[in-house]
């Protein structure tokens, strides 16, 4: 269907059996108010809404009014949450439809915090303002960092409180994704829908995200390997910028290879393989250094779910799945060392590059230095004078690195250009994020908007990000983030 403002919404997901979703409209809210609208994202989607009509936008992105002939759904899925299997679903989200862009790409448009569904499990279906501000900010920062991610199109306050540990302002986020197909969607299909339902879901996912495998002899094995490759590259990209997802449950891992669900996430300041900021991850299951095996564990659950499709003989299907999962480590290691070579300005490949990169991280861990700043300091002709850089451990590593740079096939200036393009000058620093969210909760969005603007060009030193680059506040060693429920 066509809409005068470029909203070309379809819903191919409803071609699947009805057990995969429930048709349900958002629950209206009393006083929606538009807080944020992502005009650049809207333009890229081919959406041309009148930005001066705040009332219309508030009604639309709260779900109070819907485009003609739209039939929203809540998706069913399952998931291993901190290792425990549960049947889940969109408990506070409504998929409005799939926007077809001018170049015929397809993106889900979903409202988050838009009211209860049959999958709410006694929840109120709502979201608080601060967690939605966090998702808007971090998802847009990840996009600017060139990391595959869902994005944020709009944020609306509801004018209604939500009850958590206290009364909080309610909000609804409009999330854009290549799709909301998750590892947990396949777990759900395998557990509840039988072989035919599982096959229909897999065929849909392949057609939508991996059409190159449709005509392969074993398209389902190709699909599994494709998801493994994308997820290995995604987690490597997280590691390169010090991002910690915080809640890597299988229902929070997409088939498309996009980062999704920015709950208790954070960017690392002082480097530590054991860094964990999530208040609900008391045992460090998803700490920084565990994200790599956690992703492989999740992918193994996808492989388990696909067993009936991989081969008619179960033993052979299991073997195919095991070999595919074993390939994850190779995919991750290749993506990781490729990114680290870029961060260190290395051209070509040498066998010792891995130990050189790991040696720097080992020194960072022992010296408790800032992860992002250290890489930027290396770009300078002479690293800044401080106790950590004057240590024998760093000096020895620095000599090895300088020696490796001399063996590059390109001039030294090219190495530093590569490093500038690969190492952000700014990430969403925890102190500034919390300040922006607190001000936003209090009704002042200026600090949020300033930080959002500063994060748009993370690899360049700009006027808007200067104040955030010269931070003087020491990291809080007890910093915690909380799940955005």
Which residues are tagged catalytic?
251
Residues 29, 33, 36, CA angle at the centre, nearest 5°? 125
**Coil vs helix vs strand at 239:** helix
Buried b (16+ CB within 10 A) or exposed e, 42-67: bebbbbebeeeeeeebbbbbbbbebb
Please name the residue that has the structure tokens 């303002």: 129
Using alpha carbons, select from 443, 462, 441, 444 the residue that is nearest to residue 453. 462
C-beta of residue 224 within 8 angstroms of C-beta of residue 303 = yes
- At 66, list the tokens: 């819907």
For 382, half-sphere exposure in the C-beta direction (CA atoms, 13 angstrom radius) is 4
Phi-psi region of 84 (alpha: psi -120 to 50; beta: other; left: phi over 0): beta
What's the chain's Rg over C-alpha atoms? 23
Least Cα distance to 107 among 39, 202, 7 occurs for 7
What number of H helices and E strands is found in the chain? 15, 13
Q: Which strand (E) or helix (H) includes residue 481? A: none
């Amino acid at each position: 269907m066509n809409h005068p403002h470029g909203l070309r919404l379809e819903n191919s997901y409803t071609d699947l059996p009805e057990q995969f979703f429930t048709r349900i409209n958002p629950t209206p809210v009393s006083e929606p108010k538009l807080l944020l609208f992502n005009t650049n994202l809207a333009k890229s989607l081919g959406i041309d809404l009148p930005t001066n009509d705040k009332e219309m936008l508030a009604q639309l992105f709260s779900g109070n009014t819907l485009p003609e002939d739209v039939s929203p759904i809540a998706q069913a899925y399952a998931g291993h949450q901190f290792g425990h299997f549960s049947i889940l679903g969109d408990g506070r989200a409504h998929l409005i439809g799939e926007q077809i862009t001018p170049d015929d790409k397809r993106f889900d448009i979903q409202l988050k915090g838009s009211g209860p569904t049959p999958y709410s499990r006694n929840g109120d279906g709502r979201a608080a303002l601060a967690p939605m501000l966090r998702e808007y900010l971090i998802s847009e920062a990840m996009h600017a960092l060139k990391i595959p991610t869902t994005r944020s199109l709009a944020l609306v306050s509801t004018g209604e409180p939500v009850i958590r540990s206290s009364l909080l302002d309610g909000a609804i986020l409009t999330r854009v994704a290549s799709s909301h197909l998750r590892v947990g969607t396949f777990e759900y299909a395998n557990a509840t829908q039988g072989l035919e339902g599982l096959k229909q879901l897999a065929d849909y996912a392949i057609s939508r995200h991996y059409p190159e495998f449709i005509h392969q002899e074993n398209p389902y094995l190709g699909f599994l390997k494709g998801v493994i490759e994308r997820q290995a590259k995604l987690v490597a990209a997280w590691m390169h910028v010090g991002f910690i997802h915080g809640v890597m449950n299988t229902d929070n891992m997409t088939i498309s290879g996009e980062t999704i669900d920015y709950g208790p996430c954070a960017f690392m300041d002082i480097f530590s393989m054991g860094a964990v900021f999530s208040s609900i991850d008391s045992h460090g299951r998803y700490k920084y250094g565990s994200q790599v095996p956690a992703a492989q564990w999740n992918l193994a659950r996808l492989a388990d779910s696909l067993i009936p499709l991989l081969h008619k003989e179960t033993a052979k299907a299991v073997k195919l799945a095991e070999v595919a999962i074993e390939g994850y480590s190779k995919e991750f290691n290749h993506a990781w060392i490729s990114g680290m070579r870029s961060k260190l300005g290395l051209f070509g490949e040498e066998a010792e590059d891995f130990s050189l990169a790991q040696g720097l991280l080992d020194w960072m861990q022992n010296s408790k230095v800032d992860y992002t700043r250290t890489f930027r300091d290396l770009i300078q002709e002479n690293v800044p004078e401080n106790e950590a850089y004057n240590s024998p451990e760093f000096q020895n590593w620095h000599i090895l690195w300088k020696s490796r740079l001399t063996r590059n096939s390109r001039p030294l200036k090219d190495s530093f250009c590569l490093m500038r393009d690969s190492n952000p000058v700014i990430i969403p620093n925890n102190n500034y994020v919390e300040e922006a969210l607190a001000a936003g909760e209090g009704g002042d969005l200026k600090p949020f908007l300033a930080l959002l603007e500063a994060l748009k060009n993370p690899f360049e030193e700009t006027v808007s990000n200067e104040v955030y680059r010269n931070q003087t506040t020491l990291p809080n060693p007890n910093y915690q983030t909380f799940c955005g429920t």
